[in-house]
Copies of this chain bind each other. A is one copy, B any other.
Amino acid sequence: MAKNYKVAFEPDETRVVEVPPGTAILAAANEAGVYVNSLCGGDGVCGRCRVIVREGKASGGSTEYFTREEIQQGYILACQGRIESDVVIEVPPETRLAGAPKYIEGEVPRLADLSKLARQAFRLSPLVRKTYVELPPPSLDNNVSDLQRLEQALSGPIDSEGFQMGLKVTRRMPGILRKAAWKVTAVTGHRGPLTEIVDIEAGDTSKRSFCIAADIGTTTVVCNLVDLRDGQTLGRAAKYNSQVRYGADVIRRIIYATQRRENENELREAIVGDLNELIHELVTKYRLGSSDVSLISAAGNTTMLHLLLGLPAEHIRKEPYTGAAYHLPPFRAAEVGLKISPRGLLYCLPCVAGFVGADVVAGIFVTGLAGSDEVRMLIDIGTNGEIVIGNKEFIVCASASAGPAFEGSECRSGMRATRGAIDHFRLQDADHVLNYSTIGSAKPVGLCGTGYVDLIAEMLRVGLIDRTGCLREEASPSRVRPGQQGEMEYLVLPAVRTKTDNDITISQGDINNLLRAKGAIYAAATVLLNALNMTFDDIAEIMVAGGFGNFLNVENALFIGLLPDIPPKRMRFVGNTSLAGAKIAALCEGCYDEIFRIADRTTYFELSTAPTFMDQFVSACFFPHTNVELFPSVMAEMKLLQEK
């Protein structure tokens, strides 16, 4: 057997792994638990897993992603570079996951922020609750079984068609009841018409009853620690979804999951690990025991929930895009590997279709759309743009594959909304930047989604691109130039002003990506409206969900045609409604049940079979649109600009 080589990673990690000769650097990094950016999941096509060989030898791989200088410095793609000796690998800033996701107070849903309709349905009645009871000790006059004694005591505080208890708890029950002198706390879980007695604890532990509400995003995982006694959110924690290393979007992850049997498990362990990390962080911070948490309520897109539960996601990707299950009963959290109370339950919110997940259903509930008298629209902009239109009488939804451009992927200088990302941007003219802001006010590393929206709008305003998105070299001969691979690009910020010592640029390909992404979302909304014989004028309110929305410059989003041209007062940013829904469901059985009814009521509209979608998409692949009359305010502004 060949000797293994030692691989050390710098600068953030001191972990060293030993691997056989020929191992890919990315595989070694995964083994060491070192994060290396990789959007394509190791196919060698995204060019994002740039690392530097500081010592030793690694060979192989494409050179097209690097300059000559970079290659001389030791740059190599981690997915392609093979380890040929003991090596020291540096993971440069642009390849690292810098800190935690941007996460601000405003993003955290609070009950007070809920729509009035959702608030009305709310009554504090958690899915898993702790009820302290003092049982009358058995006597000859009252010698029902221990279980019946407990059920009798619980039937007052808990309204249920019947109780159920698993064998393990039933076995332990008589001992606990007697040891605790008949004063116990029952942990009960909502199971449709039935109530499961999940666990029994000696004495009064009802004061220590917490839950984790989780939004499992393709990119970001966010958890809230919630006190089930009063519904207050104690703490918040977020991190990037570690599955990112296997692919930036759900499609790549499904492909990875189905390549080998172990891969599915690897993805499952990645997200389970993320959740456990966040749970541990929150539980530790608030000095709880993990047994104080007996409930996890999770929302997320269909693929994320499949991967979490270990359900095969394979068929979501292929026509006709069907998942294994969209409505799932609660499962033992431990069965999934989640580290809360060993008997605690995991409730997943329901999905509607392969590409309309529980995150969207949560949004339909939380925004009050499902109970609205007027017709409302909900838009969730992410890798997929999900569009919902409805009111209390009907709900239809569709999903447009927008690609991850607005999530900062698939653009050369794109990055997630994290430290160093340019999130807002203004040009003075075609040659000069007026100002920009970065997350954390750090030295710029790249551009995140909201930064791109601003950049495109500004480039359009100053004439750097035309309405088809085509770069106009004549607008700034100094900054519009051929890039490394010959493709035209615009120099946004020169290397001297960046943290990576690389130019921040936007290429013609990047612009085309962004154009297609916004076109797909706009076309989806239009096709859905057409199918309902409606226009944007019939929509009382457009609600934009997702972290993206909160930081979006609406004027710019409208200027490039990402959002329709409606008066600002009919537009609302609703934040992370997925997390809000997970939290409300956890706190209120009735809301949880209502969310399932909403999923049942929601009709999925398959865009790929809609004959008009392609036409609408092509029409929308203009800034703001082929039919500029749909954007009267943009028309007016453009006219002003031309007059200047």
A residues at B contact (CB < 8 Å): 138-149, 161-162, 164-167, 170-171, 173-175, 178, 191-194, 309-312, 314-315, 319-329, 331, 335-336, 351, 353-354, 604, 606, 608-609
On whether the beta carbons of A325 and B170 are closer than 8 Å, the reply is yes
A323 interface neighbour in B142, B146, B321, Cβ under 8 Å: B146
Q: In the assembly, what is the distance between CA of A175 and CA of B139, in Å?
A: 54
On whether the beta carbons of B324 and A173 are closer than 8 Å, the reply is yes
On whether the beta carbons of A319 and B192 are closer than 8 Å, the reply is no
Question: Within 8 Å CB of A191, what residues of B?
Answer: 164, 194
Question: Within 8 Å CB of A144, what residues of B?
Answer: 322, 326
Q: In the assembly, what is the distance between CA of A192 and CA of B175, in Å?
A: 27
Number of copies of chain A assembled together:
2
A322 interface neighbour in B143, B165, B315, B608, Cβ under 8 Å: B143
Q: In the assembly, what is the distance between CA of A267 and CA of B148, in Å?
A: 25
A312 interface neighbour in B148, B161, B171, Cβ under 8 Å: B171
On whether the beta carbons of B324 and A170 are closer than 8 Å, the reply is yes
Q: In the assembly, what is the distance between CA of A304 and CA of B162, in Å?
A: 25
CB distance from A183 to the nearest CB of B (A): 17
On whether the beta carbons of A145 and B319 are closer than 8 Å, the reply is no
A171 interface neighbour in B149, B310, B353, Cβ under 8 Å: B310
Q: In the assembly, what is the distance between CA of A248 and CA of B162, in Å?
A: 37
On whether the beta carbons of A606 and B194 are closer than 8 Å, the reply is no
Given A138-B320, A142-B320, A143-B320: 20 more A-B contacts, CB < 8 Å: A140-B608, A143-B604, A145-B351, A146-B315, A146-B325, A147-B324, A147-B327, A149-B322, A161-B192, A161-B193, A162-B192, A167-B310, A167-B335, A167-B336, A171-B312, A173-B324, A174-B324, A192-B193, A192-B194, A194-B194
Q: Show 23 A/B contacts (Cβ-Cβ < 8 Å), sorted by A.
A: A140-B608, A143-B320, A143-B354, A144-B322, A145-B324, A146-B315, A146-B323, A146-B324, A147-B324, A147-B327, A148-B325, A161-B193, A164-B192, A164-B329, A165-B325, A167-B309, A170-B311, A170-B325, A171-B312, A171-B324, A173-B325, A174-B311, A192-B193
CB distance from A624 to the nearest CB of B (A): 30
Question: Within 8 Å CB of A314, what residues of B?
Answer: 174
On whether the beta carbons of B322 and A146 are closer than 8 Å, the reply is yes
A167 interface neighbour in B146, B331, B608, Cβ under 8 Å: B331
